[in-house]
């Protein structure tokens, strides 16, 4: 009974979006074969046979064909990562995206970048990674959304990161009456779920399936190498965020990937946590992973060929009080990695690097650089790109 009430409430709360479904002549919110055929013949008659009857416009017929083909002939109810459902009665021809990970996932499943009319400022600053956003306008940032720009772009929907960081941007779009969908595309599980949801909504099911297959293959390769790993061979790993002394524990993308790569994040904790020299030395990590790519370590990635900053940061870690005695420092197992390889669908690249660093003998057959190259060329349309993503360079 409670479930039934919940379902009814959800259906009532689900907001129908955009204009009425085209070519639905009987208004039953379902495009039948007959309605589609009549619309096609009317159009062909007027366009090619000098017919004088009424026909749907090409735009309406295209939308109807899309709904018929991709949405099984009915409005599409999309539920986002925060459990909010929006019912779409037209395909999304124009979108705005406030997260690089969401945009990357959309591109990876084949959504045309020409349909992205607005994007977060940080996305537009990363032209090396997103070179195909020619007509895309900046709509501000998560902290400071540009209301006027958003209103002028007037997208069919705005994609905003799930969680509190996206609240301001989501509220701004909602105030303008623009539908908001919230996803994260951060963890391995959410990337798959979100990609599948995008695939259904954006008419890219095949692309989503191909992406998920690729992720499964790469994760499977790592899992096969770590199969039967004894507990006493699981190394303690200190993962540090961009800022010094901020640890990425379980529940962060980096912390979760360390577990997936056969490691144990230390010190014990959850989320991002401040740590002291004493805490780290007490945890005695066998491996240290340092994230770069954002302030105050905004370097690395596509187009950056200067290793000097990697070396500076690497050496500074070893000079911290008491850290020279750490097993990771003594054995030269301190690695720097661009955070982009831990986020969005690229997490499999980061995972492969981690597995090779944590278990070099078991994972000798893995080639993270090749996985990275394959991902960039197959799912990003980026070939012949170069840059420093990890340090030291060889996994």
CB of 40 to other proteins, least distance (A): 4
Among 17, 18, 61, 106, which residue interacts with other proteins (rule: CB under 8 A)? 61
Q: Is 43 helix (H, G, I), strand (E, B) or coil?
A: helix
> Is residue 209 within the footprint of other proteins (CB under 8 A)?
no
If we measure between CA atoms, which residue out of 362, 379, 105 comes closest to residue 221? 362
How near is the Cβ of 374 to other proteins at its closest, in Å? 26
List beta partners, residue 50.
Answer: none
Of 40, 87, 147, 369, the residue at the interface with other proteins (CB under 8 A) is 40
DSSP characters over 263-330 = -EESSS-BSEEE--HHHHHHH--SEEEEEESSTTS---EET----HHHHHHHHHHHTSTTGGGSHHHH
d(CA 161, CA 185): 8
Q: Could you give the 3-state DSSP secondary structure of residue 160?
A: strand
Which string of b and e fits 347-361 if b means at least 16 CB within 10 Å?
A: bbbbbbbbbbbbbee
247 contributes a contact to other proteins by CB under 8 A: no
User: How many Å apart are CA 156 and CA 369, to the nearest integer?
Assistant: 38
Which residues touch 268 (CB under 8 Å, ≥6 apart)?
Answer: 249
Among 14, 65, 168, 176, binds other proteins (CB under 8 A): 65
54 binds other proteins (CB under 8 A): no
Please identify which residue in 17, 21, 24, 68 interacts with other proteins, judged by CB under 8 A. Answer: 68
How far is residue 108's CA from residue 195's CA, in Å, rounded to a whole number? 9
Q: How far is the CB of 74 from other proteins (least distance, A)?
A: 15
Number of residues that bind other proteins (CB under 8 A): 20
Stretches 4-12, 47-55, 192-200, 376-384: which one binds other proteins (CB under 8 A)?
47-55
> Contact with other proteins (CB under 8 A): which of 36, 86, 150, 326?
36
The answer to whether 34 contacts other proteins (rule: CB under 8 A) is yes
Does 330 bind other proteins (CB under 8 A)? Our answer is: no
Shortest Cβ distance from residue 91 to other proteins (Å)? 10
The encoded tokens of residue 316 equal: 């500074």
User: Could you tell me if 139 and 149 are in contact, meaning their C-beta atoms sit under 8 angstroms apart?
Assistant: yes
66 binds other proteins (CB under 8 A): yes
Among 29, 45, 279, 373, binds other proteins (CB under 8 A): 45
> Which of 2, 27, 49, 232: binder of other proteins (CB under 8 A)?
49
Q: Is 92 in the site for other proteins (CB under 8 A)?
A: no
CA count, 13 A, side-chain hemisphere, 8: 5
Which of 16, 62, 82, 149 forms a contact with other proteins (CB under 8 A)?
62
Per CB under 8 A, 132 contacts other proteins: no
**Three-state secondary structure call for residue 376:** helix
Residues in contact with 174: Cβ distance below 8 Å, sequence separation at least 6, in sequence order: 180
CB of 37 to other proteins, least distance (A): 4
Window contacting other proteins (CB under 8 A); options: 29-37, 159-167, 187-195, 307-315: 29-37
Q: How far is the CB of 41 from other proteins (least distance, A)?
A: 5
Q: Which stretch binds other proteins (CB under 8 A): 34-42, 170-178, 251-259, 260-268?
A: 34-42
Is residue 71 a contact point for other proteins (CB under 8 A)? Answer: no
159 binds other proteins (CB under 8 A): no
Min separation Cβ 206 and other proteins, Å: 12
DSSP-assigned letters across all residues of 54-112: ----HHHHHHHHHHHHHSTTS-EEEE-TTS-EEEESS---SEEE--HHHHHHHHHTT--
Q: Which listed range, 1-9, 36-44, 171-179, 262-270, lies at the site for other proteins (CB under 8 A)?
A: 36-44
Angle between the N-to-C axes of helices 188-201 and 100-108, in degrees from 0 to 180, rounded to the nearest 10: 60
Site of interaction with other proteins (CB under 8 A): 33-34, 36-37, 40-41, 43-45, 47-49, 58, 61-62, 64-66, 68-69
């Amino acid at each position: 009974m409670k479930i039934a009430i919940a379902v009814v409430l959800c259906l009532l709360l689900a907001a129908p979006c955009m204009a009425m479904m085209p070519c639905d002549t009987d208004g039953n919110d379902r495009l039948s074969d007959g309605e589609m055929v009549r619309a096609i013949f009317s159009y062909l008659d007027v366009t090619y046979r000098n017919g004088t009857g009424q026909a749907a416009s090409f735009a309406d017929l295209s939308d109807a064909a899309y709904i018929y083909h991709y949405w099984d002939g009915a409005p599409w109810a999309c539920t986002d990562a925060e459990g909010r459902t929006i019912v779409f009665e037209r395909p999304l021809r124009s979108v705005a995206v406030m997260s690089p990970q969401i945009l990357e996932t959309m591109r990876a499943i084949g959504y045309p970048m020409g349909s992205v009319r607005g994007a977060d400022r940080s996305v537009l600053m990363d032209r090396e990674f997103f070179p195909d956003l020619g007509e895309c306008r900046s709509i501000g940032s998560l902290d400071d959304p540009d209301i006027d720009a958003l209103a002028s772009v007037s997208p069919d929907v705005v994609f905003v990161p799930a969680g509190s960081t996206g609240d301001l941007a989501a509220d701004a779009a909602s105030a303008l009456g623009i539908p908001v969908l919230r996803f994260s595309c951060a963890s391995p599980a959410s990337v798959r779920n979100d990609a599948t949801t995008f695939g259904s909504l954006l008419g890219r099911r095949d692309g989503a399936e191909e992406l998920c297959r690729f992720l499964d293959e790469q994760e499977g390769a790592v899992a096969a190498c770590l199969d039967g790993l004894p507990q006493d061979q699981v190394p303690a790993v200190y993962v540090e965020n961009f800022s010094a002394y901020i640890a990425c524990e379980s529940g962060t993308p980096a912390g979760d990937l360390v577990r997936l790569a056969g490691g144990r994040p230390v010190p014990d904790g959850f989320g991002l946590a401040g740590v002291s020299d004493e805490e780290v030395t007490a945890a005695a990590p066998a491996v240290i992973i340092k994230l770069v790519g954002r302030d105050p370590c905004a370097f690395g990635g596509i187009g950056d060929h200067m290793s000097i900053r990697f070396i500076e940061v690497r050496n500074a870690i070893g000079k911290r009080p008491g850290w020279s005695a750490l097993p990771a420092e003594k054995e030269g197992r301190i690695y720097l990695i661009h955070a982009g390889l831990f986020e969005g669908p690229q997490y499999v690249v980061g995972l492969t690097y981690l597995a090779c660093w944590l278990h070099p003998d078991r994972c000798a057959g893995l080639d993270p650089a090749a996985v990275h190259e394959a991902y960039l060329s197959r799912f990003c349309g980026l070939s012949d790109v170069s840059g420093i993503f990890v340090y030291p360079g060889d996994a």
